[in-house]
Structure 1
């Protein structure tokens, strides 16, 4: 295999027309330059320079390698420029995975601010569920939005959790419900109600069940739909009450009321799973800040 550094030495000799001049340009001794060229000739298996008077000139093979050395030099310079742009956050690509209810309320406004600061960085967005399960196997995004408790252990592997937002749950009641007259409802007051499930099994449902357990009861689900808009429809029809996170209440059914819950207030915690290597990129850090600012 040809040594690229030696090819650049050959190029300096051919450009200057002499070993001595090339040595002065490179900061080497003439002997060191001659040794590099001799080693390259051994690698190439052919003579690369021939003497002309007090100078040298390239053979056909020498001209060929000199041309490739110039091309490699330009490519290296381009790579260095591209790398500098990437390090500075001027260019590049960030892959982000998000779940549905975080899209409009959290991701969209954050991306609008991010693009002002990094207009030439491309963001690849794909949808996952709240647990962070990727849509495709082998997907290794830079940032994945997930629901994890605040005290959740760090993920295994080269990942780090970054807290983004706490998303409290609200009680969703039919308009004519006796508790609808209250501005705030104790969670225990919902213990004997028929419940409309709005969460599939996973971290979001866990947050609701843990809060209910702390209030001394287990909710009795009569309807399970695993979707916020549909859950509101069942509540509006008088089939029960529901708990829905604030970020899931962007569109509210006209025949329901939404009330704050306390003692305790169920909360799902939205965090970002970030690849450790990606945290070195200014663009990723800017995006995380934008997501935290909400």
Structure 2
């Protein structure tokens, strides 16, 4: 295998026209340059330079290798430039996993802000796996995952960042006897039929735990893992439901949405990234954009609660 460094030394000799000039340019001694060219000639088994007066000129083999050395130099320069762009986040790909209700409420505004700074990055979006939402992060297939109740315990090298707490709201049929109350005690719904809207897991746990703290277990008569469908079931009079605020960006015209207390169920939403990824400016910017979107949503929620 040819020594690339020696090929570059040969190129310097050919382009400068002498061993002495090449040595001065490279910061070597003329003797060291001559030794490297001689070693390259032994590798190739053919003469690469010939003397012409006080200088040298390449043989046919020398011109051939010099041309390839120029191509190698160009490729290395392009690779270094591409790597610098990738390191700075100017190019490349970011893979994001998320769950449905944060898509329009948190992720969309965060990405709009992020794209203003990193317009050339490709963004791949996929829905989070319910069984193991952090698997993509752990395996290196995903750069950032937005999930509920994430724990990095037993997963070294994973950083979990809290974004926001998302409170659940009571969703009642518009003609329900308690529809006129602005705030409901959770125990007020103890004897009602319930419409479930969460699969078993971190989103259902806050509901079940809060109901247990209020002294009852909800009687689920219908279930849907889609918030819009769950609202339709409520509007049809099948029961009442608790739906997280982020899942209520669009409300059914035949339901009312009320705050719940004593206790108020809340799900915690996090972003998970690999520790090493935090060295990338693009990942840090994306995290900051998500935090800002979460803060703006929280302020909007507080404003609505005061109305």
Alignment TM-score > 0.5, same fold:
yes
Q: Which residue of 1 aligns with 2:149?
A: 148
Q: Which residue of 1 aligns with 2:247?
A: 248
Relative distance call for 1:207 and 1:43 in structure 2 (3 A) is: farther
Aligned counterparts, 1:250-289, within 5 A: 250-289=249-288
Q: Within 1, Cα distance between the matches of 2:276 and 2:140?
A: 16
* 44-53 or 275-284: bigger deviation: 44-53
Gap runs ≥5 in structure 2: 294-307
* 114-123 or 154-163: bigger deviation: 154-163
> Contact 1:48–1:62 (CA<8 Å) still a contact in 2?
yes
Relative distance call for 1:191 and 1:45 in structure 2 (3 A) is: farther
Gap runs ≥5 in structure 1: none
Aligned counterparts, 1:1-294, within 5 A: 1-129=1-129, 132=133, 140-148=141-149, 152-154=151-153, 156-294=155-293
> Contact 1:97–1:134 (CA<8 Å) still a contact in 2?
no
Q: Within 2, Cα distance between the matches of 1:207 and 1:62?
A: 75
* 21-30 or 4-13: bigger deviation: 4-13
CA shift, 1:134, in A, is: 7.6
Q: Within 2, Cα distance between the matches of 1:65 and 1:188?
A: 84
Relative distance call for 1:4 and 1:232 in structure 2 (3 A) is: same
Tell me the number of residue pairs that the alignment of Structure 1 and Structure 2 aligns.
290
**TM-score, length basis structure 1:** 0.91
CA shift, 1:78, in A, is: 1.7
CA shift, 1:121, in A, is: 2.1
> Contact 1:197–1:231 (CA<8 Å) still a contact in 2?
yes
Q: Which residue of 1 aligns with 2:299?
A: none
> Contact 1:169–1:267 (CA<8 Å) still a contact in 2?
yes
**TM-score, length basis structure 2:** 0.87
The 3-state SS of whatever aligns with 1:204 is coil
Q: Within 2, Cα distance between the matches of 1:42 and 1:148?
A: 65
